[in-house]
Structures are given as C-alpha cells and as structure tokens.
Amino acid sequence: MAPLTSSTRELFVEAVGAVLETWPVLQIAVDNGFGGAHSQQKANWMVDVLQQYFNDNVDLQQNEVEDFISDLMNNEFDTMVEDGSLPQVAQKVCVMYQQCQQGKLTEVRDQVSELALKKIAGRAKVTPADDDDEKREVEEAMECDVVGEGPSVISAAAMVKPPPQATSNEEEDDGWTVVCRKK
C-alpha cells in the first residue's frame, strides 16, 4: 500500500499517541520514572519513533511491531513487558495504520476519541484509597528481587504482573534464578 499523506500521517501520530497513553505498562513506567528524569519525554518520543517505523517499513506484521515496542520499552524504560498487553497494543496500532492507508479516517478518529475517554476514565480510577495501602503494595512488590548477572532491579513488569512465589530458589526458563524472601 502507499505511504500515508501528511494529513493522514498526523492522524496516525495522534492514534499512536492515544494507544500508548492508555497503555497501563507505559504509564506505570512513566509515572514511576523507570526511564529516568525524562520518562515523559521518552514516552512522547516513542510515539514519533513508532510512527517513523511504520513509515520506513512496508507490510509490517504485528509480531514485528510487538518486537519493536518491546525493544523500546526494554532499552528506554528498563522494562520487560510480560503482562500480555503487548500484542494488544501492537494490534491496535497496526489496525489503525491499515485504516489510515485505506482512507478510513472516520473510524480512526472514532477510536482515538474512545481512547481519550478511556484515558480520562482510567486516570480517575487510579487514586489509592489510602497511603498505607499504597506503601504495602510497593513493599510487597519489592519483596522478590530478580538475581542475575547485573544488579537487581524492579521493573514495571514486576509491578504489573508479580512473579509466582518461589519456595526457595527457582530456575526460570531464560536461565535467571528468582530468589524470594520468606515472610
């Protein structure tokens, strides 16, 4: 298919931004500074980079987009996405790109509007009931450290999908050993 026109490209950039802004993993990484002091700027940069990736490559498949986004999250936010949301994000972006190519701009605008409403509704629900609950959740997330060749780091993946409880040392599929404290 033909590359996007400038007006269609602007709509696609808006669509990518809407998808990424409503992706909980990225928002957790930004809110908690996993990308350093400039986490929000990195999230904004990801929108442009992802749009450029589609612009530079022909006939991208969903798995290629998943791998690209996964690499961005790992490299920029030190976060491995393991909560199952990555295929959904890649699929949304791929579908919106195809719709932009096919001239289905009304459908894309409608989806962007839905995502904007979801973002507003999602942000309203994220307020913690009380500070003690929030502290307890952070402490529980920090109880299990991943041990490997480098220093132990808690990433958004650990906060989004906690690792299964190990009785002592447990060998992971990728060769890492998970060591958990006993309560």
The pLDDT of residue 153 is 40
Taking the C-alpha atoms of residue 176 and residue 137, their distance in angstroms, rounded to an integer, is 24
Half-sphere exposure of 50 (CA within 13 A, CB side): 34
Taking the C-alpha atoms of residue 98 and residue 90, their distance in angstroms, rounded to an integer, is 12
Could you tell me which residues come within 8 angstroms of residue 172 by beta carbon, excluding any fewer than 6 positions away? 178
The pLDDT of residue 3 is 65
The pLDDT tens digits along the chain (183 residues) read: 556 777 788 999 999 999 999 999 999 999 999 999 999 999 999 999 999 999 999 889 999 999 999 999 999 999 999 999 999 999 999 999 999 999 999 999 999 999 888 877 665 344 444 455 555 554 554 444 444 443 334 444 444 444 444 444 555 566 676 667 766
pTM of structure:
0.64
The pLDDT of residue 136 is 53
Distances (CA, A) of 85 to 26, 64, 90, 157: 10, 15, 9, 11
The pLDDT of residue 137 is 52
The pLDDT of residue 118 is 81
**Apex 40 CA angle, 37 and 42, nearest 5:** 85
CA dihedral for 10, 65, 34, 26, sign (positive or negative): positive
Q: Pick the closest to residue 11 from 113, 121, 123 (CA basis).
A: 113
Which residues are registered as beta bridge partners of 145? 179
